[in-house]
Amino acid sequence: MPKNWVSAKEIFARVFEPNLRIIDVRSSLMDHGYGAQKYAEGHLPNATRLDLETDLSGPKAEHGGRHPYPSAAQIKEVFERAGVSDHTRVVAYDDAGGMFAARVWWLLKYIGHEDVCLLDGGIQAWLEAGFSLETAARNFPGGQLTVREKPELLASVEEVRTVKGRNDVLLIDARAPERYRGDVEPIDRIPGHIPGAINRPFGQNLENGKFKDLESLKTQYQDLAGQQEKILYCGSGVSAAHNALVFHELGIPHRLYAGSYSDWVSYPEHEVETGEQAAEPV
C-alpha cells in the first residue's frame, strides 16, 4: 500500500474525523483566481482551502523563482491557521493530477510533519466514486505545530551551478517535454532547461489521472537507483514536488531545487540548453 496517496473511498470513510484536515489546493499557473472560484463552486466536505500564491509561496524577489518557497515560520503559520496540529492527518487534493497538492505534501515534510498524503485522482476521483461536494467555506480553530526543519531536503542555486559535467549528481527536470526542449515557454523568460538536466515529466507518474501502481513506478525509475545524487526541479518548484513525492515513496534519495528554472533564468549569466537530453543516466 502506498504511504503518500490514498483513495477517495478511504477519505470518505473519515471525512468528518476531528484529526483529519482536507486541503483544497486547486490552482492554475495562468489564472490566479481559478482556485478560489472552484472552491466556491464546490469542494470536498469539510475541506478548507490554501492558495498557491498567497499561502504556499514566499515573498517574490529578484531571485528565488515565480513561487519562492516560504520560510519555516510562514509554513507553520499557514498550516496552523488551516487547523493543522502535530497529530493532524493532512490530505491535499487538486484537479491537476496532484501537481499542486504535492506542494502541500512537500512543505509539511520540510517542517517535519510526516502525516500528510494526497487524494489519488483528486476531486475527479471523488466525483467518479459518486461522492458529493459542498459549497460552504470551512474554517477551523487554529492548530499548533512543532517545527523540525529539514534544510537537507533543499539544493541551492550555488550547488546547481556545479552540476554540469559531473557524474556524481543527476539533475532531473519535471516539466513537460516541450518546455524541457525549449519548443515553447509560456511563462518564463527564456526557453530551455538547465544544462546537464534530464527530463522526467511528473505526468509520467500518472495513468488516467491517478498514480501508477508501485511496481510500475519502480520499473519506471529503476535506472535512477544508482549512487548519483538526485536534484529535482521544474518551472517554479511546483511539479518537482510531485516527483519528490514519488521518489520518497520509492525510497530514492533526492533534494529539491526550490527556485527551479524560473530562478535559474533570473541570473543573466546562466546558460540554458535546448533540445533533447544527450543521454539517459548510466
Query: Which sign, positive or negative, has the C-alpha torsion 257, 262, 267, 271?
Result: positive
In sequence order, the β-bridge partners of residue 43 are 134
Question: What is the b/e burial string over 156-168, where b = at least 16 CB atoms within 10 angstroms of the residue's CB?
Answer: ebeebeebeeeee
Pick the catalytic residue from 91, 92, 169, 234: 234
Let me know if 117 is a catalytic residue.
no
Cα–Cα distance, 186 to 62 (Å, whole number): 20
Nearest CA among 50, 45, 49 for reference residue 17: 45
Cα–Cα distance, 41 to 38 (Å, whole number): 5
In sequence order, the β-bridge partners of residue 170 are 230
In single-letter form, the type of residue at position 154 comes to L
Residues that are catalytic: 234
